[in-house]
Amino acid sequence: MPTRIDASGERIAFTFDGQRVEARSGDTVAAALIAAGIDATRRSALSGMARGPYCMMGICFDCLVAIDGVPNRQACMVEAREGLVVTTQDGAMEALS
C-alpha cells in the first residue's frame, strides 16, 4: 500500500462513489485515491474487469473516472479540489444521451 512521503499541505476532501476521500492540496485525483487505498477506479469498456491508475503521467488512460458528471476524465491529470464528485467509470460512456 502506497504511503505519503510528505503529509504537509492543506487538507481537502472529495467523494468517490459517495465515499469521502481526504486529499492534500496539490494531489491529483488519482494520487489521492491511491493514498486512500482505492486502486480500482473504472471497469474496462470491453471486458468489464476492474482497472486503476497505472502510469500516473497521462499516458495509459487506465485511471479514467467520471468527475462532476463528465465521463472519461484522466484522474492522474486532474488536480483534486474540495467537493469534487468522482465516480467509477463503469464501462464505456454513452455518446448520445
Partner 1 sequence: MSDVLVVGGGLVGAATTYGLLREGLSVTMLDEGDIAFRASRGNFGLVWVQSKGDGRPEYAQWTRRSADLWPGLQDALGEETGINTHYEKPGGLHFSLSEEDFEKRCALIHRMHNVHGAAHYGAEILDAKQVRELVPGLGPDVVGGTYCKHDGHASPLYLLRALHTAIEKRGGKIVPNASVSAVAPDGNGFRAETAKGTMRGDKLVLAAGLGNRKLGGGVGLDVPVAPEKGQILVTERARPLLPMPTHVVRQTSEGTFMIGDSHEDVGFNLTSTTPTMSMIAARAVKMFPFLKDLRLVRSWAALRVMAPDGYPIYEESAAHPGAFTVNCHSGVTLAAAHALGLAPMIAKGQIGDELSVFTAGRFDANAH
Smallest separation, CB 61 to partner 1 (Å): 7
Residues touching partner 1: how many (CB under 8 A)? Answer: 10
By CB under 8 A, tell whether 47 contacts partner 1: no
Please say which residue, 19 or 61, places its beta carbon nearer to partner 1. 61
- Cβ-contact 68, 92 below 8 angstroms: no
Q: Pairing between strand 19-24 and 64-67?
A: unpaired
Are 20 and 13 spatial neighbours (Cβ–Cβ below 8 Å)? yes
- Which residue from 20, 46, 48, 69 is in contact with partner 1, where contact means CB under 8 A? 46
